[in-house]
Amino acid sequence: MKRKRLVEEAVSDSNIFKDESTLFPDYVPEELPHREEEMIRLAKNFRTILKRDNPRSVHIAVVGDPGVGKTSLVKRTMQDLVEVAHDKSINVDFVYYNCHSMRTKASILRHVLTEKFGVQSRGFGEEEILEMIVKRCEKEDLRLIIAIDEANMLKAEDILSIIHANEVFGSGESRISTIIISRTAEWRALLNAPLSGHILDQLNIEGYNKEELMDIFKYRAKLAFWEGVISDEILEMVAEISASTRNARHGIEIMLRAGRIADGLGEHEIKADFIREAKNRVYPELRSDVFYDLRLHELLASLAIARILARPENIQTTIKEAYEEYKLVCEEMGEKPASMPSFRIYLNTLEKVGIIGITVKSLEKGRGRRAKITLYDIPAKIMKERIEALLTKDFLKKHRER
């Protein structure tokens, strides 16, 4: 083993990372320490769909604060569930959608139809597609589980219509199950009485304490770094910082950034100072990949707002001011600016994704209302830098082709 380790190190070009990608936002680890109870509870809810005859679908909500492992929990548990079902020769399939990139019910349904069943959805309406999915499931004796992450991007009616598809189009059996994943505050805003009536179980996922975070980070560090790169003392430091937000992503992002700092300096270990430096660049509520899911003009709108708010005199801005700046940004990038109504839609999306905050204030003596735009989690200067770094020529080209 030792010899293999030496060879492995020799061919690797980093003194720090054994596998850097295990710290990337979309990586789902094999194990989820301290989430066993939740995994069992989630899985138990699906017992009724595994029945050979007359399966009953279920609709579950997974709710909690940022970085507590909601997405990972659902992906891992469902992957296992599908395997267990196959061992029993029961046909179960799981599809996962993040509504930051898949924004509408229609796009989700079209994707299911095309990817799962190989049927082109062009020319069909939403209801027709839903019916085709249900009929296909019945024909293939398939139980389909659809996870809808960041569900607040959709409307409650959209989710309900997917839930209702079983009754509307099915012949008695119910084939489509859903898992709705959402952050706590957003879930409260989304939930209405009809939706709540269909949710069989709501798992409220709590944040992690320091000891739990320590176990998680030890495990994640082992996957990502060579032995000896990060000491327990340094990991304690990361766990301490993360414990303030109870958010596992917080510490994982710090480890990635600190590792990169060490790597860049040609060091063989991560020092306390690297953690301190990395910590200042991590905004735990904002997923580091959030900008990747934005459409080009949403990015340009965010850049406009970031530029305005990065000026020292500005604490907040208005929609009008942001729109003027956005037009300048478009000009600079060689893009045709969208109309004001479209710009407002971009702003709504940015608010839902959690990049900006919009507060509406009533003006004095019935002089109407004015919306103020602020940034939530990330300093304007950093946001500006990150978006500018993203807007390369290649990126613009790719977006234009979309």
Which of ligand ATP, Mg ion, none sits in contact with 34, Cβ below 5 to 8 A by type? ligand ATP
Using CB under 6 A as the binding rule, the residues of this chain from 230 to 249 that contact ligand ATP are 248-249
Based on CB atoms, which residue is closest to ligand ATP, 222 or 398? 222
Based on CB atoms, which residue is closest to ligand ATP, 153 or 304? 153
Per-residue x/- marks for ligand ATP, 36-75, CB under 6 A?
A: ----------------------------x-xxxxxxx---
259 binds ligand ATP (CB under 6 A): no
Instruction: Pick from 15, 34, 82, 377 the residue near ligand ATP by CB under 6 A.
Output: 34
Minimum Å gap between C-beta 39 and ligand ATP is: 10
Based on CB atoms, which residue is closest to Mg ion, 130 or 151? 151
Based on CB atoms, which residue is closest to Mg ion, 65 or 263? 65
35 binds ligand ATP (CB under 6 A): yes
Q: Kindly state the number of chain residues that form the binding site for ligand ATP, as judged by CB under 6 A.
A: 20
Q: Which residues of 327-348 are buried (b: 16+ CB within 10 A; e: fewer)?
A: bebbeeeebebbeeeebbebbe
Minimum Å gap between C-beta 388 and ligand ATP is: 24
Rounded to whole angstroms, the Cα distance separating 22 from 11 reads 19
Minimum Å gap between C-beta 55 and ligand ATP is: 28
Based on CB atoms, which residue is closest to Mg ion, 176 or 181? 181
Minimum Å gap between C-beta 130 and ligand ATP is: 27
Q: Using a CB cutoff of 8 Å and minimum separation of 24, what contacts does 156-163 make?
A: 156/190, 156/191, 156/192, 156/194, 156/195, 158/104, 158/105, 159/105, 159/190, 159/195, 160/194, 160/195, 160/198, 161/105, 161/126, 161/127, 161/130, 162/105, 162/108, 162/109, 162/130, 163/59, 163/195, 163/198
Residue partners of 32: CB distance under 8 A and separation at least 6:
39, 69, 72, 73, 76
Query: In this chain, which residue has its C-beta nearest to ligand ATP?
Result: 69
Minimum Å gap between C-beta 38 and ligand ATP is: 9
Based on CB atoms, which residue is closest to Mg ion, 71 or 177? 71
Based on CB atoms, which residue is closest to ligand ATP, 76 or 105? 76
Based on CB atoms, which residue is closest to ligand ATP, 229 or 286? 286
Minimum Å gap between C-beta 386 and ligand ATP is: 17
Distances 374 to 64, 235, 318, 354, 379 between C-alpha atoms, Å: 24, 34, 9, 11, 10
Which of Mg ion, ligand ATP, none sits in contact with 183, Cβ below 5 to 8 A by type? ligand ATP
Based on CB atoms, which residue is closest to ligand ATP, 221 or 330? 221
- For Mg ion, the binding residues (CB under 5 A) are 71
Which of ligand ATP, Mg ion, none sits in contact with 59, Cβ below 5 to 8 A by type? none
Rounded to whole angstroms, the Cα distance separating 319 from 336 reads 18
Minimum Å gap between C-beta 181 and Mg ion is: 6
Based on CB atoms, which residue is closest to ligand ATP, 45 or 71? 71
Which of Mg ion, ligand ATP, none sits in contact with 35, Cβ below 5 to 8 A by type? ligand ATP
Minimum Å gap between C-beta 184 and ligand ATP is: 9
Minimum Å gap between C-beta 331 and ligand ATP is: 34
Instruction: Pick from 183, 297, 352, 384 the residue near ligand ATP by CB under 6 A.
Output: 183
384 binds ligand ATP (CB under 6 A): no
What is the contact surface with ligand ATP in residues (CB under 6 A)?
Answer: 29, 32-35, 64, 66-72, 183, 216, 220, 248-249, 252, 287
